[in-house]
């Protein structure tokens, strides 16, 4: 059965801390891994990773994929209260016909 597992389930940090969120997957016919940030309702797209070992970076956020060990990490440096959200990991498979989401990591950044 295809699955995406995220850890930790929730995390509480203080502003300025650095956090690492994990996503592991067991999905046949893997194509890409995607990260989303979900505040309130609608997830917003952060990154798409297709190749191993190539870091994607956007401001204080960065992510990398390891296709051999079947996992990805999302790093957030110098966290701010605005980073508080649920971070979702998704895997695209079968030529982008199927998408599997993890349950998310709930990040709470305290002032």
Partner 1 sequence: EAGVAQSPRYKIIEKRQSVAFWCNPISGHATLYWYQQILGQGPKLLIQFQNNGVVDDSQLPKDRFSAERLKGVDSTLKIQPAKLEDSAVYLCASSRDRAEGQYFGPGTRLTVT
Nearer to partner 1, 58 or 111 (CB): 58
Compute the least distance from the CB of residue 109 to partner 1, in Å: 20
Nearer to partner 1, 85 or 104 (CB): 104
Nearer to partner 1, 17 or 86 (CB): 86
Compute the least distance from the CB of residue 97 to partner 1, in Å: 5
Compute the least distance from the CB of residue 64 to partner 1, in Å: 17
DSSP string across 41-89? S-EEEEEEE-STT--EEETTEEEEEETTTTEEEEEE-S--GGG-EEEEE
Nearer to partner 1, 43 or 85 (CB): 43
Which spans of this chain sit near partner 1 (rule: CB under 8 A)? 4, 31-32, 34, 36, 41-48, 88, 90, 92, 94-104
Give the angle subtended at the CA of 4 by the CAs of 86 and 55, to the nearest 5°. 70
**How many beta carbons lie within 10 A of that of residue 105, not counting itself?**
22
**How many beta carbons lie within 10 A of that of residue 82, not counting itself?**
9
Residue 82 has φ and ψ, to the nearest 5°, of: -70, -10
Compute the least distance from the CB of residue 59 to partner 1, in Å: 16
């Amino acid at each position: 059965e295809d699955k995406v597992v995220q850890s930790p389930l929730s995390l509480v940090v203080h502003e300025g801390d650095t956090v690492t969120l994990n996503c592991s997957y067991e999905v046949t016919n893997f194509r890409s891994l995607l990260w989303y940030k979900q505040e309130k309702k609608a997830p917003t797209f952060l990154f798409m990773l297709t190749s191993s070992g190539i870091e994607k970076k956007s401001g204080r956020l960065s992510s990398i994929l390891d296709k051999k060990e079947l996992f990805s990490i999302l790093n957030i440096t110098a966290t701010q209260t605005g980073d508080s959200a649920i971070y979702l990991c998704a895997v695209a498979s079968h030529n982008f016909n199927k998408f599997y989401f993890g349950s998310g990591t709930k990040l709470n950044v305290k002032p």
